[in-house]
Amino acid sequence: MREILFDTETTGVFPDHQDPKQCDRIVEIGCVEIVNLERTGREFHAYLNPDRDVPEEVVRVHGLRLDFLRNHKRFPEVIGDFMEFIGDAPLVAHNASFDQGFLNAELRRCSRELLGNERFIDTLAIARKRFPGASCSLDALAKRFQLDRYGFDLAARKGAGGHGALVDSRILAEVYLHLKGGREQRLVFDAGEAASENASVLRPVEFVRRQPRPTPLAPLATADEQAAHAAFIDRLGPNALWRKVS
């Protein structure tokens, strides 16, 4: 199954406003493709010129200033590539309603068809159901699943400009894999394969009882050896084990 993990960085939290000049805009979008919960390596990434200022408190989150963004394309110039990349795949985001609102606001300005609720999967809702009462921010989940083991610099995200749409999408892909039990499923699958391939090794050992010989074998001990053995048994006393089994 093909799915798209995505994230957006914006100028604020209000995609719609009575005054068009006051609408917050997307300044970065990142997408990661997965198939059957595995990253394929295909990604989409774009910085966007918002045609408005970027408040300093927001810059402290993603580090993107207007001086940098005004040299990049506007959303209408990348919408074709973006829509082609996502296709008809489900869109997975953390706190999906936020990103959905911004995407649809941009699509509306371009007179494009909006993305319906059925297209979106919210990992925040999944995490809250799995870990009730615990912090379920993307950073908290990354720490819970120890994503630093996979090369993610979680400490750097605490500093100014530590967040980015593409790196957040990559982190989200790994978080989504854990939330869906992907690693456990793979382990179970691999174990099943191993059991199938080594069934002969894992089969229980069966012991077959042999029937006694119809005629006992003739003793190989000499007469002197048999006499020495009898003398030894006599020294063991009347309760010697040999007397009980002979």
Give pLDDT tens digits along the chain (246 positions).
999 999 999 999 999 988 888 999 999 999 999 999 999 999 999 999 999 999 999 999 999 999 999 999 999 999 999 999 999 999 999 999 999 999 999 999 999 999 999 999 999 999 999 999 999 999 999 999 999 998 898 888 877 778 999 999 999 999 999 999 865 555 444 444 444 444 444 445 444 556 666 777 777 888 888 888 888 888 877 777 767 765
Strand 91-93 versus strand 2-10 pairing type? parallel
At residue 205, the pLDDT reads 46
**Residue 226 to residues 111, 217, 230: CA-CA distances in angstroms?**
109, 15, 6
At residue 53, the pLDDT reads 95
Walk across the sheet containing 91-93 and list its strands: 38-47, 26-35, 2-10, 91-93, 120-122
163 is catalytic: yes
- Measure CA 212 to chain center: 61
What is the DSSP-derived secondary structure letter of residue 155?
A: G
At residue 188, the pLDDT reads 44
* Domain annotation for the chain: domains and CATH numbers: 2-183 (3.30.420.10)
Nearest alpha carbon to residue 6 among 87, 71, 64: 87
d(CA 154, CA 146): 9
Catalytic residue among 62, 94, 163, 178: 163
What is the DSSP-derived secondary structure letter of residue 24?
A: -
**Residue 4 to residues 88, 99, 217: CA-CA distances in angstroms?**
10, 13, 78
Mean pLDDT score of the chain, rounded to an integer?
87
The answer to whether 140 touches 152, Cβ cutoff 8 Å, is no
At residue 241, the pLDDT reads 73
Could you tell me where the DSSP H helices lie in the chain?
Answer: 56-62, 66-69, 75-86, 96-109, 123-130, 138-144, 165-179, 182-197, 199-202, 223-236, 241-245
Q: For the chain, what is the radius of gyration of the CA atoms?
A: 35
Q: What is the pLDDT of residues 8-65, one digit of tens each?
A: 999 999 999 888 889 999 999 999 999 999 999 999 999 999 999 999 999 999 999 9
Claim: this prediction has a pTM higher than 0.75: no
At residue 246, the pLDDT reads 55
